[in-house]
Structure 1
Amino acid sequence: MLNLLALNPIAFNLGGLQIHWYGLIIAFGALIGVLMALSEAKKRGVDPENILDLVLYGVPIGLIGARIYYVIFELPFYVANPGEIIKIWHGGIAIYGGLIAAFIVLIVLCKKRNISIWTMLDIAAPSVLLGQIVGRWGNFMNQEAFGGKTTLSFLQSLHLPDFIVQQMYINGAYRQPTFLYESSWNVIGLIIILALRHRKQLFKRGEVFLAYLVWYPLGRFFVEGMRTDSLYIFPGIRVSQVLSLILLAVAIILFIYRRKKYQEPWYQDV
């Protein structure tokens, strides 16, 4: 059933080209994330040019990685419809795929320029989280990344604006706004990280990134379990939930191991 009150996913037409809100919102999230990283780089003694170069290579490669990741786990559809592979404006990019690709770019750049990988990860992590907060609203405009069926009364009980409630009417039923749950979880995490990351003798080098690597996968695991459009490894086994548990475990192990094994410097007030 068509929802006539749904927001138009197309922002405007430029000549014969349709510009989608999805792309504009993701671009905006990336922009403000970059500005945040540039500011933090100066405080950490890292040349901002390195951040710009990371963005120059990391964003396009990250988008490619995000798309490849999604296509791999939806391979039967894309084998049957190869023309759809490049149509990212239809949705279908996976955050974890983008993060993996961007992480590889960061490592290569740091190795070539003799920059601390952990410092760069600490600079990048809050910016990535900010980008994820904003980016989920691109999913909202596309009416994707939603959860199971719910009721109008439940959505109204959350005191959501009417435009969100109406946008959650998808395929003839109201849906759980899982995009909003994840975005809200990330807002809380970002506030905590920004409030604490410069406290004396709280975080050592690399631990701002590890805090992100605990916070985001923890929330994603539970939100993913509510979604109806998940990618699956096997029936009943969601890719993002498995990867979230792995990343969460790796972050905790690394935190404990590095505290015991290495004498990383404390971050001081700046």
Structure 2
Amino acid sequence: MTPSAYFATMVIDLNPNVARLGPLLITWHGVFSVIGIIAAARVGQYLLAGEGISGERVYDMAVWMVVAGIVGARLLYVWENYHLFVGAWQKVVFLNEGGISQWGGIFGGLLGGLAWSLRNGIDYRKILDAVGPANALGFAIGRIGDVINGEHHAIPSNLPFAVEYVNPETLGQPGRSVHLEVGYELVWNLLVFGVAVLTYQRLKLRLPTGVVGLLWLAVYAFGRFWLSFLREDSLLYGLRQAQWASLAMILAAGVLSAVWLAWERRGRSDTELPAPPTAAQG
């Protein structure tokens, strides 16, 4: 389908930069990333209140998760794009200029939450349950910044609609009508968040602790796997890095859920009392 065949092409003429304060460049990507983190922490606080975990402790945990998530997100991005840093390795710490891997942030944040839980004697599975819905909202808000800056390049659109970035400062693909892939991810995350919140208490009553959060992380990963086919990211053994990470998340969620389900069933069977003898047996 050629650009002239589109029913609608949305032109994005937005400067990805908000302001420069000396050496500090403030970008919309960074602004919405911060808002997303705050929103995710607030959702986590609300959900974990029912587990007896105070808001102060949730925000303390959030700091651990954010720091570990930022480190993981940046390191994975640098590993994927090391050629951009050869000869200028000091740029690795220039987070304000963009360049992070969302999957690196997810896995890093989960490890940060695990470390906090072990340090504070909190059941990590309770944290996971809240992480599923909370992160979905945080990811959705963060994608608003990606829609503005056009950082994640997509393939030409084969749908009746497309998007074109035209701002001189854009990180997008000027002159090309492409899929708004990050916009699709934004919608997917909002759907995951909405369903996760509406079914949270019901699933918590039916599934072992931790499995609810793993379920929604896996659902997010499922959508991300298929949407990544619309990206122009480099391939590794036929798939994009984000797709391999999505499969890793789905596999990890499946294995851990199976282990916890088996553990709960075994615990129930061990605590069951033998039936009293009947009159005939007596």
- Normalised to the residue count of structure 1, the TM-score between the two structures is 0.84
Match status 1:203 vs 2:210: no
Separation in 2 of the partners of 1:207 and 1:76?
39
Query: Match for residue 249 of structure 2?
Result: 247
Alpha-carbon displacement from aligned partner over 1:194-240 (angstroms, at most 9, x marks no partner): 01111163333112211122111101111112101x25445x43221
Separation in 2 of the partners of 1:222 and 1:190?
18
**Residues 1:232 and 1:188: Cα distance change in structure 2 (over 3 Å):** same
1:11 Cα deviation after fit: 1.9
Please say which of residues 203-212 and 185-194 is displaced more in the overlay.
203-212
**In structure 2, the residue corresponding to 1:70 is in which secondary structure?**
helix
Query: Match for residue 113 of structure 1?
Result: 120
Separation in 1 of the partners of 2:222 and 2:87?
35
1:49 Cα deviation after fit: 2.2
Partner residue of 1:101 out of 105, 108, 113: 108
Contact 1:73 1:233 in 2 (8 A): no
1:249 Cα deviation after fit: 2.2
**Residues 1:5 and 1:98: Cα distance change in structure 2 (over 3 Å):** closer
Contact 1:217 1:245 in 2 (8 A): yes
**Residues 1:5 and 1:208: Cα distance change in structure 2 (over 3 Å):** closer
Partner residue of 1:43 out of 45, 50, 53: 50
Contact 1:146 1:179 in 2 (8 A): no
Match status 1:219 vs 2:226: no
Query: Match for residue 187 of structure 2?
Result: 184
Number of equivalent positions: 252
**Residues 1:44 and 1:167: Cα distance change in structure 2 (over 3 Å):** farther
**In structure 2, the residue corresponding to 1:146 is in which secondary structure?**
coil
1:139 Cα deviation after fit: 1.3
Partner residue of 1:155 out of 155, 161, 165: 161
1:61 Cα deviation after fit: 2.5
**In structure 1, the residue corresponding to 2:26 is in which secondary structure?**
strand
Query: Match for residue 263 of structure 2?
Result: 261
Separation in 2 of the partners of 1:7 and 1:25?
15
Alpha-carbon displacement from aligned partner over 1:59-93 (angstroms, at most 9, x marks no partner): 12311210011101212221244243223333210
Alpha-carbon displacement from aligned partner over 1:4-26 (angstroms, at most 9, x marks no partner): 96201122344664321111111
Contact 1:91 1:142 in 2 (8 A): no
**In structure 2, the residue corresponding to 1:11 is in which secondary structure?**
strand
Query: Match for residue 39 of structure 2?
Result: 32
Separation in 2 of the partners of 1:91 and 1:16?
14
Structure showing greater Rg: 2
Separation in 2 of the partners of 1:248 and 1:113?
28
**Residues 1:126 and 1:216: Cα distance change in structure 2 (over 3 Å):** same
* Structure 2 gap ranges (5+): 1-10, 167-171, 269-282
The alignment's C-alpha RMSD in Å is 2.5
Match status 1:62 vs 2:65: no
* Structure 1 gap ranges (5+): 157-164, 266-270
Equivalent residue letter for 1:155: F
Separation in 2 of the partners of 1:15 and 1:74?
27
Separation in 1 of the partners of 2:252 and 2:47?
25
- Normalised to the residue count of structure 2, the TM-score between the two structures is 0.80
User: Share of identical aligned residues, percent?
Assistant: 24
